Amino acid sequence: MSEHRRRSSGRTTPSGPDGMHGGGRAAARRAAQSRGGRARRAAGTRHANVARPGRRSLIDYPRAGRRGVRRWLPSWKLVSGTFLLFVGGLVGLFGYAYATTTIPSANPSTQAQSNTYYWSDGSVMTTQGATNRQNVDLAQVPKLVQWDFLAAENATFYSDPGVDTQGMLRAVYHMATGGEVQSGSTITQQFVKNTYLSQDQSVTRKLREIMISLKIGGQLSKQQILQGYLNTCYYGRDAYGIEAAARTYYHVHAFQLNVSQGAFIAATVNEPSLLMHADTDPQAKAQAKARWTYVLARMAKIHKITDAQEQQYLAAGFPTPKPYAPSAGMAGQTGYLVQAAEKYVKAHTSLTDQQLGHGGYQIYTTFDKKRVSALSASVAAMERKHLDPQHRSADKDVQVGAASIDPSTGAIVALYGGAGWNKGHWTDNADATGVPVGSTFKPVDLAAALDHGAVLSPGQPPSPVTPASKFDGDDGITIKNQQGQELPDSNDPTGLLHQRNDVSTKWGYISLRKAMEESVNTPYVQLGEYVGYNNVESEALKAGLLHTSLQYDTPGFYIGTSTPSAIRMADVYATFDDGGVQHEPYSVTKVVAGGRQLPGFDKPKGTMAMPSSTADTVTDVLRGVVKNGTGTNAQALGRPAAGKTGTTDDYKSAWFIGYTPQLTTAVSMFKEDPKNAGLQSMQGVGGYAKVFGADMPTEVWTGYMTAALQGQPVQQFPPAPALGQSTDELGAPSPTPSATATQSTPPATPTVPATPTPTAAPCHGHGKHCVSPTPTDTAGTTAGTGGGLLGGTTGGGTSPTPTPTGSTPAPAGVRGRP
């Protein structure tokens, strides 16, 4: 090959076996690869277009390319993304709330304030709380006493950020599962609530409390927060702050408290209104001791005291608080008036003991200053005249409770609760239950009979009953039910219930009017059975009694085994007095806080409890009790009056409840040993062999009503309504034409047709009205083995003239019952 051709070959691409030049093979490969890639991409595009039509969404839900349940199950990416977004939102919201939260100025309420109570005329009755707060530095509180509070309330105080999330969740769990109610608040939160916020129970306030609690650490140290907490807490007994608490409970300064005393004071923060009575009230003491034991156990658990020290404190015993010595403003009846007003305020608002304890409230009451003074003076006069506990042991521990109500409104105008807080008598006898009312319950039986009738013939509809209806008044009769069956009594040899009067007078069949006047019991027990328990109970509830105070269905129920308070019994008689209109008794007319009047204190509206004819008929019968029966001592009032005496078995209580058209008053008298709960017999009290409602209780009533109504016009009761023909119990003699039911108050010496002359017996002081033996009206004892009792009560007549011994009687010592 020539040199020329070789050079030409170097310049051109030689052909390969397939006729292509050498450089063309590489190019061909590249071209082929390019064509294959384009084909694969096209195929991939076609596949994608088939699998996911349209544009792909940001959130793949429901999930594309999935079928059935898997299509609706979110991916872990979606779940985690949503969770992170939610958490991020919360964090952002929290951060914003924290950044925008400012710590407000301390509330003025954290300073010394008082609650002011006003008489019905607008004058100041008393102030409470103004002088019983003394702030102290934390250094003045012993370290271990500080830890008493921390152990009880917030052991992690020095390490937590101001809130306890676990504690709040735990509190919610306990409340949701029916466990013990817990606050879930740290000491910091409680300090913030007391110092910077209101006491409103709202979500907004709670959130602010949490934010401020988290932020307060930047301005105040833990020591400052604890100091503020100890000085702002309410401990009961009108004590605000730990210094006042130390003084009122143990008569020492805060720096003198020991661990055991501090444990009790720390316990009072939760329930100050109850634990403040731990020195006298067994229930309060038991609860206080349990909480005190818990605090000591917590102190040992967090290693602030040793187990041995805990045992030493427990062995030394519960540090019972010293007797309470309230300020002079709470002496006498004032303490009971304030107690009654506070109880009413708490029942009609959401205010708590702690909130009232912070002060700043103006509370306007219904209490009439002159009438409260008159009631107290009348009790004192009776005690001076009749009671001499220093020389007659029977006169010790005698107590009186009384309540006076305006029947047209239900306003409580006066109370007598006892000798006074300043004399160690804490319980308000006017508002306490536990004293059986005896025959003062009989007017309720009569009202129920007038409204519902009585099943006098078995299997027949109820028959109309009036005060002229006659029932068997003899002692020891058997009592029948509506089916005509005699009631059983397992204690009686005959197996039947024989209802007892106090004396064996043979009254025969007497009218219900006569039985009410002379307080004969057997007719009213039988009447109650014929009317029916449900009807009598319903009448009592509508008239103003509370279900919790009513005795269970027994024959004794109809003659007063129930134990309403004097306030409630006065309210029942006020219903009769106001023509059948019942007004809920109330003691507060207005509450003002921060210049704003709180809602909930409108005057209660009256409700029609019974027809006016029923109420006026009962009033007419009770006027006869005062004119001709066991209540003749009330005639000393010198104006129209109606009322009823009541005495119970063994003379454990004595009542008189009476009224004029303007005023209704109930007076109870009983005896109880301060060291042993339970009523005792008053036999021998005041020199009387037997104490009846007609004696000392009526004397208190008359003295008070005379003073309370002084200057008031004499008003008359409405006339007795005309009623239809009366229906007698089966077995009663046929009525004469004169024995109709259209009755007014009988003359001084009533003549009841077909009533046998009673068996002669001594006359115990009815004076000119003493025309027949006066039954002492002890009811409820049943004949049988051992003279068994069946909820017995007595009705309350007059007693023999007392023959007291010793020198001039002195006021009786009294105490409060648990």
HEC per residue, 60-99: CCCCCCCCCHHHHCCCHHHHHHHHHHHHHHHHHHHHHHHH
Per-residue burial over 565-576, b = 16 or more CB atoms within 10 Å of its CB, e = otherwise: bbbbbbbbbbbb
User: Is the pLDDT reported for residue 760 higher than 50?
Assistant: no
- CB of 140 closer than 8 Å to CB of 390: no
Among 65-79, 138-152, 250-264, where is mean pLDDT lowest? 65-79
pLDDT tens digits, one per residue of 522-577: 999 999 999 999 999 999 999 999 999 999 878 999 999 999 999 999 999 999 99
Bridge partners of residue 736, in order along the sequence: none
Answer whether residue 209 is part of any domain: yes
Residue 365 domain-assigned (yes or no): no
Residue 798: predicted pLDDT: 42
**What is the tens place of the pLDDT at every residue in 668-687?**
999 998 777 789 999 999 99
Give dist(CA 288, CA 152) in Å, integer.
13
Q: Tell whether 496 and 640 lie within a shared domain.
A: yes
* The pLDDT of residue 50: 46
Give residue-wise pLDDT tens across range 134-155: 788 999 999 999 999 999 999 9
Residue 313 lies in a domain: yes
Say if residue 740's pLDDT is above 50: no
**How many angstroms separate the CA atoms of 455 and 376, rounded?**
46
Give the CATH number of the domain where residue 662 resides: 3.40.710.10
Q: E strands, 609-723, where?
A: 642-648, 653-659, 664-673, 676-679
Residue 28: band (very low, low, confident or very high) from pLDDT cuts 50, 70, 90: low
- The answer to whether residues 460 and 319 belong to one domain is no
Same domain, 322 and 448: no
List the structure tokens of 661. 């058209």
Q: What is the mean pLDDT of residues 721-746?
A: 69
154 within 8 A of 160, measured Cβ to Cβ: yes
Contact (CB, 8 A) for 636 and 709: no
- Assigned domain for 183 exists: yes
Kindly indicate the confidence band of residue 69, based on its pLDDT and cuts at 50, 70 and 90: confident
Q: pTM higher than 0.75, yes or no?
A: no
Number of helices and strands in the chain (H, E): 24, 18
Count of domains for the chain: 2
Q: How much is the pLDDT for 97?
A: 55
For 757-817, the three-class secondary structure string (H helix, E strand, C coil) is: CCCCCCCCCCHHHCCCCCCCCECCEECCHHHCECCCEECCCCCCCCCCCCCCCCCCCCCCC
Query: Is 805 part of a structural domain of the chain?
Result: no
Residues 451 and 318 in one domain: no
- pLDDT, residue 98, reads 53
**Residue bearing the bigger pLDDT, 750 or 131:** 131
Highest mean pLDDT: which range of 65-69, 460-464, 758-762, 809-813: 460-464
Is residue 466 very low, low, confident or very high in pLDDT (cuts 50, 70, 90)?
Answer: very high
Question: Does residue 585 have a cis bond before it (omega within 30 degrees)?
Answer: no
Question: What distance in Å separates the CA atoms of residue 502 and residue 484, rounded to the nearest whole number?
Answer: 25
Q: Does residue 264 contact residue 299 with C-beta atoms inside 8 Å? A: no
Of 259-268, 271-280, 330-339, the range with the lowest mean pLDDT is 271-280
Res. 596 pLDDT band, cuts 50 70 90: confident
Phi, psi of 554 (to 5 degrees): -140, 160
For 369-385, write each residue's pLDDT tens digit.
Answer: 999 999 999 999 999 99
Q: Is residue 532 part of a domain?
A: yes
781 has pLDDT over 70: no
Query: Does residue 725 sit within a domain?
Result: yes
Phi, psi (degrees; rounded to nearest 5) at 326: -70, 170
The answer, yes or no, to whether residue 441 has pLDDT greater than 70, is yes
Share above pLDDT 90 across residues of the chain, in percent, rounded to a whole number: 56
Q: Which among 297, 326, 355 is the end of a domain?
A: 326
At 164, the pLDDT band (50, 70, 90 cuts) reads: confident
The pLDDT of 9-38, averaged and rounded, is 52
DSSP-derived letter for residue 105 is P
Regarding whether 582 and 723 lie in a shared domain, the answer is yes
Range of the domain at 319: 132-326
pLDDT tops 80 at residue 361: yes
Q: Is the pLDDT of residue 485 over 80?
A: yes
Q: What token pair was written down for 628?
A: 């001709």
Residue 791 predicted with pLDDT over 50: no
Domain boundary residue among 295, 326, 357?
326
Q: Which of 326, 345, 371 is the last residue of a domain?
A: 326
At 174 the three-state DSSP class reads helix
Look at residue 17 and tell me if it is in a domain.
no
The predicted-structure confidence for 177-191, as pLDDT tens digits, reads as follows 555 444 558 888 888
Find the CATH number of the domain harbouring 204. Answer: 1.10.3810.10
Q: How many CB atoms lie within 10 A of CB 500?
A: 25
- 305: confidence class by pLDDT, cuts 50, 70, 90: very high
**449 and 573 housed in the same domain:** yes
